[in-house]
Amino acid sequence: MTTAFLGGTGDTIQRGGDATLISQCTKFLAGAPARLASAIAVLVFAAVVLGLASAPAATAQPPAFNAEKIAEGDYAHFGQVALTTPENAGDIANLGIIVGRDAVAVIDTGGSVQVGRALLDAVRRITDKPVKYVINTHEHPDHVFGNAAFVGATFVGHHNLPRELRARAAFYLQSFRDQLGPAAIAEVRIILPTVLVKDTMELDLGGRKLLLQAWSPPAHTACDLTVLDERTHVLYSGDLVFLDHIPVIDGSIEGWLALMPRLAAVPAVRVVPGHGRRVGTWPGALADETRYLSVVAADARRLIAAGTPLAEAVPNIGQSERTRWKLFDDYNPRNATAAYTELEWD
């Protein structure tokens, strides 16, 4: 089976909404609708797996898709605490909806276009105001693979997000074929943000200002972005905050720990975490993951100092946290490896 990717290398990714380039792109999108919005800013590069005509249509439905009201104008959808499967369609991350007087912002779009459409349906049950902004909190597929449901909106992200997506899109699309199924992958479009946040930025939805903050150094990832509703002081943290679901390190454990005091200073009262099916208090919601990351870092440093090789060290890192987290065995070995290899060079 032939697999063709658009994207994954710098020279095939076009920026800026050139209609000719987009239409060239769409020629590769076998069977995909070519209704790419003329909106200036949307930049699409896409990987589409060719030769899927015989693949079964996605029939799996994510469980009932709810958006819970968190505060006046603030809503959250809590994804499952699970790995991505064809059955859950990648509905594993928490997503946000913020409604202003004039417009709506959504925060992350879920792990498939199916989830993105369900999120848009949830918006439509709340309000008929336009979705003006899609804010992606970082590059992970469970947060951005639903973006195609919002073509026409303005996509916003950390200034490093385009770089991270470019570097990883081809890999994600390939590796998630097994997890999501080929039909679901075939409709995913990687949409790069055109509004980039360097440090902080305010977006106004009409009587409701959102404070976006692009964090550095790398922590959960190298492009972590948070969104604070300045009217209600609800913080949408993306994956800088995990509750119940074991934290996942894809940036830097030292960087993440270094951010904790700065995160705690964000003037929020409640947080919608990136994973974990509940709202947390602020900054109390940082306590569990701070403890986990501290234990992992301390274990790794101790084993490195003792000269224990990586393969022997990994099963002995973070084990005192085992009963405190869901999906521990799915992610702790990876976190342990990441921490060891990072801290080895200290």
- For Zn ion, the binding residues (CB under 5 A) are 140, 239
Closest to Zn ion by CB, 133 vs 172, is 172
- In angstroms, how far apart are the furthest CA atoms of the chain? 61
- Asked if residues 101 and 208 have their Cβ atoms less than 8 Å apart, the reply is yes
Q: CB 20 → Zn ion: shortest distance, Å?
A: 34
Q: CB 15 → Zn ion: shortest distance, Å?
A: 24
Query: What 3-state class would DSSP assign to 341?
Result: helix
Q: CB 7 → Zn ion: shortest distance, Å?
A: 20
Q: What span, in angstroms and rounded, lies between the C-alpha atoms of 82 and 119?
A: 19
Say which amino acid occupies 122: A
Q: CB 328 → Zn ion: shortest distance, Å?
A: 17
- Asked if residues 194 and 163 have their Cβ atoms less than 8 Å apart, the reply is no
Q: What span, in angstroms and rounded, lies between the C-alpha atoms of 181 and 176?
A: 7
Closest to Zn ion by CB, 141 vs 283, is 141
Closest to Zn ion by CB, 36 vs 286, is 286
Q: How many CA atoms lie within 13 A of 40 on its CB side?
A: 2
Closest to Zn ion by CB, 73 vs 250, is 250
Q: How many CA atoms lie within 13 A of 325 on its CB side?
A: 23
Query: If we measure between CA atoms, which residue out of 45, 156, 138, 153 comes closest to residue 93?
Result: 138
Q: CB 118 → Zn ion: shortest distance, Å?
A: 20
Coarse DSSP helix, strand, coil percentages of the chain, rounded to the nearest 5 percent:
35, 20, 45
Q: What span, in angstroms and rounded, lies between the C-alpha atoms of 126 and 129?
A: 9
Q: CB 207 → Zn ion: shortest distance, Å?
A: 31
Length of the chain: 346
How many Cβ atoms from other residues are within 10 Å of residue 59's Cβ? 9
Closest to Zn ion by CB, 79 vs 283, is 79
Phi, psi of 264 (to 5 degrees): -60, -25
Q: CB 137 → Zn ion: shortest distance, Å?
A: 8
Closest to Zn ion by CB, 79 vs 182, is 79
Closest to Zn ion by CB, 49 vs 271, is 271
Closest to Zn ion by CB, 239 vs 299, is 239
Q: CB 242 → Zn ion: shortest distance, Å?
A: 9
Q: What span, in angstroms and rounded, lies between the C-alpha atoms of 343 and 305?
A: 10
Lookup: tokens for 190: 């990687």
